[in-house]
Amino acid sequence: MGPQSNREKGKQKAVHTGLAAGNAGVAEIYSDNVIFQAERGHGTAAEKANHLKDVWSGKDAKHMGGNNAKNGPDRYVDGAYIQTKYCRTGSDCIKECFDKNNHFRYWSPDGTPMQIEVPSDKYDAAIQAMEERIRKGQLPGISDPQKAKEIVRKGSFTYAQARNIARFGTVESLIYDGVNGIKVSGTAMGVSAIITYAHALWNGESPKVALEQACYSGMQVFGVTFFSSVITAQLGRTGVEAALRGGTDFLVKQMGPKAASWIASGIKGGNIYGAAAMNHLSKLLRGNIVTGIVTTAVLSSVDVGRLVRGKISGAQAFKNISTTAAGVAGGTGGWMAGAAAGATVGSFIPIVGTAVGGLVGGLCGAFLGSSAASTVTKSVLDEFIEDDAKEMLHIFESCFAELAFDFLLSENEIELLSQQMQELDMAGELRNMYASDDRRDYAVALLEPMVIEVVKARPVIPLPTNEQVLDCSRGLMEKIVEQTA
């Protein structure tokens, strides 16, 4: 039981560390998408969706709109600087590119106009509007209206699609969140698989078995992270965001600007100070809260299902869910603290840097934080709630002892049966036993066929003849007479 228990604990740590890495990415996505709820949130949604499309298309694409540079580009794609304008009409898209004095606002570093990205269904109207602006001489150095086709860029999405991406529950927003979820889930899967593979090899498993365990762990984490990312991102478009804002803003305020800057810079992988740091950290905290709740719900769905089917008690379900929640929260907290500390250390090591330092620190923090939180929570709850498995094991062991007595099992036979029972899915059998109408009957029905098979292997014992019995009896009588004489 000891080595197996250690292996299971190692697998659980690998899963929780991978989930913590995934949750960190999901929280970042949540904080980045908060702006979708703003009055012109669909414009940012269009930027991000077009950027995502370009990235998945293999283009050299960078999203630059987050730096809030005045008249700066939103995106950079294959050498072109792009300003995204998703307005109700094509004419309005172009109008947004000029100030009140009809001066064009968006120029690339080389002095040429940036490309203006517009909704795909507003492209023709935008071209016409830009041609008219060129005819009026409102783009210095450009006199040919045909140049409008080089300046105006057709976006990959319509105006309606961009608005739907920013909304809760639409097909477009679900697809967008799903694509984002694949990336962050892949990272989480890799982290979990690597840790599981290494841990299995350290425990003496063959490379083939270690790889199987790593793949299983990775797929498990990928699935949980993917569903958590989509659900979390969707919730960020609802009233949940506004409901949590006051609490996280208050918490960050209590930390102070220095602590907020230290944590935010470590997690973001770059320097961020003052109000910007406090605002970013508050959004991250909201993202982590929602992500943690959703991840716990996804992980606990199996326990909830078992509770509904009567395979575990309400107390056991509460204990399992509480331990899971503690592990998720500990992993998240450990990641944030570890990333901040790792980034600080990495900043003093030129080869490492803040990004690598933050990643390594986050992984170490998640591994230790998740393990410690789960262990402490389970230890505390063990004092109040006995596991269903322990209760069922008492019944199981009692029935085994009775069968051993009834069948006169030898020490070697008991040892053989113990080895065979290790091949059973004991966790599943104990849950089935809990759900059965008569738990003792269930245990006996499981054990008795195994006992009978072992007993069948006993060698056939020939009975003594009548003469042998008489000779033995006569000898014993003679010894008794001699001793009493």
| Residue in 311, 302, 305, 256 with CA at minimum distance from that of residue 281 | 256
| Residue in 11, 6, 17 with CA at minimum distance from that of residue 367 | 17
Residue 480 vs residue 186, higher pLDDT: 186
187 close to 21: Cβ distance less than 8 angstroms:
yes
DSSP class of 147: G
Put simply, whether the predicted model's pTM sits higher than 0.75 gets the answer no
- Per-residue model confidence (pLDDT) at position 1: 38
DSSP class of 272: -
The one-letter amino acid at 467? E
Ramachandran angles phi, psi of 410, nearest 5°:
-80, 170
For the chain, percent of residues with pLDDT exceeding 70: 82
Tell the burial category of 40 from Cβ atoms under 10 Å away from its Cβ (0-12, 13-18, 19+): middle
Query: Phi-psi region for residue 269, left (φ > 0), alpha (ψ -120 to 50) or beta?
Result: left
Helix, strand, coil share of the chain (percent; to 5): 75, 5, 20
| Residue in 465, 331, 421, 414 with CA at minimum distance from that of residue 14 | 331
Query: What average pLDDT does this structure show over 214-236?
Result: 90
| Residue in 254, 203, 229, 236 with CA at minimum distance from that of residue 41 | 236
Query: Does the structure show a pLDDT above 50 at 308?
Result: yes
Tell the burial category of 16 from Cβ atoms under 10 Å away from its Cβ (0-12, 13-18, 19+): buried
Query: What average pLDDT does this structure show over 256-284?
Result: 77
Query: Does the structure show a pLDDT above 80 at 134?
Result: yes
Residue 378 vs residue 314, higher pLDDT: 314
Token output for 327? 């592990």
Helices 353-382 and 314-346, packing angle to 10 deg? 150
Q: d(Cα 74, Cα 62) in Å, to the nearest integer?
A: 9
| Residue in 388, 32, 425 with CA at minimum distance from that of residue 232 | 32
Token output for 418? 């113990």
- Per-residue model confidence (pLDDT) at position 347: 47
Helix/strand/coil for 83? strand
Residues 6+ apart with CB under 8 A from 445: none
Compute how many other C-beta atoms are within 10 angstroms of the C-beta atom of residue 361. 25
The one-letter amino acid at 479? K
